[in-house]
Chain A
Amino acid sequence: MIAGNSLFKIYGKGSVEVRALDGVDITISRGEFVGITGASGSGKSTLLHLLGLLDRPTSGSLRIDGVEVSALSEKERTAFRLNRLGYVFQDYALVPELTAEENIFLPSKVRGMTSKECTRACRDILSLVGLKDRVSFLPGEMSGGEQQRVAIARALINNPALILADEPCANLDTKNSIVILELLKKLNHDLRQTVVMVSHEEWHQRYFDRVVTLQDGKIISDIGT
């Protein structure tokens, strides 16, 4: 599913050079639920950004679903993100002027789904994330946990093979965090979707199949749970 070899991400030059990723080799199989942990500045978010095609490695090779993504053009990367990836942000990142349903079906509209198909798919996904009664709510009218579930629903709408979640519980209380983690676990289990989630909370690790720990841009441990 994912094969990253000798991934480097270097910011700055010379004496101010910062190696956010320092020769990372990582392989993730289809259907895995992988947690990436580490201290602040360890490179976990940088790695997720590379996997999410939001950034390019300084050097190294990255293959996702058999495609060498580091060689793709900007337009191809956008299309890849749309069709094959689902990204969940720490702060939900919903469009405030769109309702829950509209936020969710936006990516599928770009793919050319009809309004009827979009609505049906949205309702199904909102039921899946337990928000079918929030269809026409604006983000400002929902709690943080509900917004994050809408964000997850948005990531799912195009049925991606890979879901990337960047500290999705960072702004949530424990109760809501559990809801989100269980939801991700359920998706991973029921839909066989590969999930890569960045987290610095130790108790989250019980939901992961595997925990990859980074330190100073290097993988220092890669343990199955």
Chain B
Amino acid sequence: MLEEEQVAFFLASRLITRGNKGTLLLTVTIIALVFVNLIFLPSIIAGVVILFNQQTIDFSYGNLVIEPRENELVITKADELQQKINRIPGVVASSPRYAGGSTIVYKGRSASPLLVAIKPSDEVQVLKTHTKVISGDFLTDADRGQIVIGRTLAGSADQKVDRVASLGGAEVGKTVEVTFRNGETRQYRVKGILYSGTSATDSNAFITRKEYESVMGVSDSANQILVKTQTTGNEDAMRITLMQYGVQEQVWTWEDKSADFLQSIVGSFAIINFISTIVSLIIAIVIIFIVIFINTVYRRKQIGILQAIGIDRSIIIKSYIFQALFICVCGTAAGCVLLLLMLQYLTASPLVFPGGPVAPVLELSLVLQAVGSLFVVSLIAGYVPSWLTTREEILSAIRG
């Protein structure tokens, strides 16, 4: 049996090395491009997903989110709970907050953002929002009568530019009027405007907890505590740890909180990726098929003669499969080189997405999947045309 493979390999190697180099080069190039296409888009998508995940952690939730116990609206004794959480191994810091609806009016334009009340000195240890102030300053613990708003909420004087309800171009130093959930209205000076690239954060407004508590007449409570852990990726384990240390409130991971949003994004990308992959594989199979088919038709007479001198058709089919696999291997290798060059370039000059730069992320499983797909495609594209040609009567093949 092995002799058959040896002869098939021998035939294939000679047909490749002494065949038309131009056709071979062209085919290998096309397969290399198909390979790049199979990997490039998913790697960009992986980069985007990583960016979104990191943004969710850095600007929205931290690693864990603690919310009031079931059937309760607030976390009481929030400061005591915060201290307890901060002592748990693996926790870096935590930040109690109030987050609730509000109405903000500026020069007759109104918007209803989420108003987040924070203790800035805690918040800066959990989130990176403070690093994204693009105008003015971030809040300090002592601030009263001051507000920081997201760029999306601040909006633009030109209404056409804004895609959502905004304050129509609120600026640092200007005064906005905030109506709280309890109906109380107060004036705030805009201290800073931030832009994180995360639409949820950029649509929010921020005041200090002290300010909020004075307006709402509450103290030492929160409806959310964000927790930053030492490592990202072990949130589920940390969640259990918190519960083991006696945290009785509801504990969520950042993935739980953003599941709908991320799943819809990842789901949409998966559909795009699936279509792109199928198209690429069809292109690959058609190209290899055409090349092998033309090759076999061109060598129809030769195939007939080989059969006539006693070469079994299985050897001939295998020789064409080997040729297809050779094209596949060369195309994949060339595609790898091309892909590495592209990745190097895009790592140095990342694509800019809303939210930040995105560098493609190359996952080994993705590469193996692409190689495997091309391998299978090559097997099919090598087998079918050679099988069809060798099925022909020897004499009619010899006569051409």
Contacts and interface: CB of A to CB of B under 8 A. Distances in A.
Our verdict on whether A and B bind, yes or no, reads yes
Contacts of A97: 14-15, 17-19
Interface string A107-145: 101111000000000000000000000000010000000
A49 B308 CA distance: 10
Interface string A63-104: 000000000000100111111010101000101111000100
A109 B307 contact: no
A112 B101 CA distance: 84
Contacts of B310: 78-83, 85, 107, 110, 158
21 contacts: A49-B395, A52-B308, A54-B394, A54-B398, A75-B312, A78-B310, A78-B311, A82-B312, A89-B308, A93-B308, A93-B398, A96-B302, A97-B17, A98-B14, A106-B306, A106-B311, A107-B309, A109-B3, A109-B6, A138-B18, A154-B309
B132 interface: no
B15 A87 contact: no
**Chain B interface main SS type:** helix
Interface residues of B, number: 27
Contact of A110 (B14, B312, B398): B312
A55 interface: yes
Contact of A87 (B11, B308, B315): B308
A93 B311 CA distance: 14
Contacts of B308: 52, 54, 81, 87, 89, 93
Given A55-B394, A110-B315, 16 more contacts: A55-B393, A78-B313, A79-B312, A82-B310, A89-B305, A89-B308, A89-B398, A93-B398, A96-B302, A97-B14, A98-B14, A106-B10, A106-B311, A110-B4, A111-B3, A154-B309
A158 B302 CA distance: 20
Contact of B3 (A83, A110, A154): A110
A90 to B, nearest CB: 10
B14 A87 contact: no
Contact of B311 (A75, A82, A102, A112): A82
B7 interface: yes
Listed from nearest, the 6 A-B pairs whose CB atoms lie closest are A82-B310, A97-B18, A81-B310, A93-B305, A112-B3, A97-B14
Determine the interface band of chain A, counting residues with CB < 8 A from chain B: 20 to 34
Interface string B381-395: 000000000000111
Interface in A45-62: 49, 52, 54-55
A73 to B, nearest CB: 12
Given A79-B310, A110-B310, A102 B3 contact: no
A155 B310 CA distance: 10
A158 B307 CA distance: 15
A96 B312 CA distance: 19
Contacts of A87: 308-309
A109 B307 CA distance: 14
Given A54-B395, A109-B7, A82 B14 contact: no
A152 to B, nearest CB: 12
